[in-house]
Structure 1
């Protein structure tokens, strides 16, 4: 396979194989290989198909391997006419398809994911439940099985895309019914609401993760990878296609199903990072968390002016020295001293960096992100604790 990959790569660089670009500024894609699965990406032209056919025939003759036409298909864009589709299919000896099936277990589709595409996840979960006798398990045993077995089945698919809300609700319903011993024939009373059960143990729940929380946390992790793994192919494709900067920020509201899924974890991701200023040119003074765990704007009431919205940390450190007169709102002396003690370099070639606020080493942490997701419950719990201590 490595020989075939090198052949396609060289042919693409010489212009014999014309790949497809991911957007105007995106990289040119020619092929994707994984084990014995091959995915060729190119323009729908007669010359392209003739060249690919010759390369595959040459590879088969030298390696002794053979292509299975019944398992090989061609997927065309909507811009390719029907006569051209038939001609190209005849050249390759493959059939045309509107659905490429699954790749590594994930459905490949250019359309927005719908419920029918992911019902197989529910079938897998139900099949796992068929061999379990609910009445012989205690609540603790059912909780352990939900966390270790049932949750692991959909978790794999949640790592790459946001599942439809109906699928997420169905996953929660299956786990909820199993926890309380309900089935199709016998409905039992649910003694505690699901929102309380799915809280982390530190907040009084059973630690059973809701499907929506688990999926949103996975999308927040993809946001972290999008802004930290600069050398990955998928990263370059998305950033160049949708003109996403290397600085963590909000994502475009319209795009492919993948970018739309990642965007659903963007708010959670932005709440979990904290900036470390070096030159201060990439950090918003009011809107980014850099001196506190929350943006300084959260301490104010009312909207900021346009000038304050555009104010950078570097702007209040002219010549590397803090100038409090450039701040429009008064701060406490303690906070001013903290800002003043922030080292800002105007001479060294340094760039601002960010880290995950909830982990000791600054890397993304799923556990801390789960706590961040239930932030409202944490504040409520802290307030109750304070009242109890005061009494």
Structure 2
């Protein structure tokens, strides 16, 4: 209840102009994030904004008896620090066991993860385990440690190689000291037991799976804060959607990695046609053919008289599809498919159906 009151105070303060929005949060009107007993407040970094944010926190402290410890960023840092007495912290700092970084995760940033793995392997109890016990330790304790990092970051390949080397040496010899040779290759060990492996999770694939989970959240949890921020900030150009936006140098490393797995996720994220307002003809996966532009092998300058952003609703009038006259067998097949589609008043729905498994259906919401 107390944090709800603080949230209202901060949102009202920004709306009334008491402090400015952070440049990356202006469109989404994001002022703060709360997690457990931690609070991150975003503003434009000016002295006036920081002073007024502190005034809001003082008002909250008078009512609730709770005070907040704050770290600020660089703009006018010396002036703000001398005026307010706040301490300036420098990233990366560790939070919930993982480093907070703004750039690509480096091997040095991953050192705590490597040390955690070594700590488990080097413990006296781990050294006395049998082969089956060592396998269980890798599949449970060490897997959970690495899973937590994988769900937060894209771990560098060199870090994954080091962890695999540590786990391989420990699995076969019970120690990582001295020279060792594996009896079976690590690629075989990470196969499932049905395929002749030991069922150890492959961190490379698991890291990619965690990135795909973010894509799942993006399309099927559109009410979350980060989806709203991503849509407003990254997809601000109405001519682009998630499938067509180009990777930019200004994008963070996390966003670049997200965009680089689009081709892998594209066949799994389909649109169930309703009114056709969210299904773009050329780019969305609304048909059994997949990407229509790639199917027709159209050059970048050609769209057959239909704009690149046109939806199925845009090219449908009074039961007639306003599209090009077919000039090839493939185009005839597309025409035939369109004749089987009837638009209605329902919203388009996203479907998640990897590898032909059971389909999950969600409203398209604000994602376009």
Q: TM-score, normalised by structure 2?
A: 0.78
Deviates more, 1:202-211 or 1:310-319: 310-319
Deviates more, 1:266-275 or 1:42-51: 266-275
The Cα offsets for residues 16-75 of structure 1, whole Å up to 9 and x where unpaired, read as 122213277x3132222222212111122222222222222333333333455xxx4322
The Cα offsets for residues 187-232 of structure 1, whole Å up to 9 and x where unpaired, read as 3321222122222344333221211111111001101111222221
Decide which of 207, 211, 215 is 2:203's aligned counterpart.
211
Aligned partners of 2:327 and 2:12: how far apart in 1? 57
2:272–2:286 CA contact under 8 A, matched in 1 = no
1:377 is aligned to: none
1:33–1:39 CA contact under 8 A, matched in 2 = yes
Secondary structure of the residue that 1:107 maps to in structure 2?
strand
Cα drift, residue 120 of structure 1: 0.4
Secondary structure of the residue that 1:121 maps to in structure 2?
helix
2:120 is aligned to: 128
Runs of 5+ in structure 2 lacking a partner? 363-368
Matched, 1:267 2:267: no
Aligned partners of 1:33 and 1:362: how far apart in 2? 30
Aligned partners of 1:44 and 1:324: how far apart in 2? 53
Decide which of 194, 200, 205 is 2:192's aligned counterpart.
200
Alignment of 1:190-339 (within 5 A): 190-243=182-235, 249=243, 252-254=246-248, 255-278=251-274, 282=279, 284=281, 288=285, 290-291=287-288, 303-304=297-298, 306-307=302-303, 319=319, 326=326, 328-329=328-329
1:12 is aligned to: 14
Cα drift, residue 152 of structure 1: 0.8
Runs of 5+ in structure 1 lacking a partner? 365-391
2:23–2:44 CA contact under 8 A, matched in 1 = no
Moved over 6 A (4+): 294-298, 308-313, 315-318
RMSD (CA atoms): 3.8
2:130 is aligned to: 137
Decide which of 359, 362, 365 is 2:360's aligned counterpart.
362
Secondary structure of the residue that 1:29 maps to in structure 2?
coil
Matched, 1:344 2:336: no
Cα drift, residue 363 of structure 1: 6.9
Aligned partners of 1:271 and 1:178: how far apart in 2? 39
Q: TM-score, normalised by structure 1?
A: 0.74
Aligned partners of 1:94 and 1:285: how far apart in 2? 52
Alignment of 1:96-175 (within 5 A): 96-99=88-91, 101-131=93-123, 132-134=125-127, 136-138=129-131, 140-175=132-167
Higher helix share: 1
User: Structure 1 residues 344, 360: closer, same or farther in 2, change over 3 A?
Assistant: same
Aligned partners of 1:277 and 1:171: how far apart in 2? 45
The Cα offsets for residues 153-204 of structure 1, whole Å up to 9 and x where unpaired, read as 0211211321222222222222222222263434332122212222234433
Q: How many residues align?
A: 347
Cα drift, residue 349 of structure 1: 5.0
Secondary structure of the residue that 1:147 maps to in structure 2?
helix
1:91 is aligned to: 83
Secondary structure of the residue that 2:33 maps to in structure 1?
strand
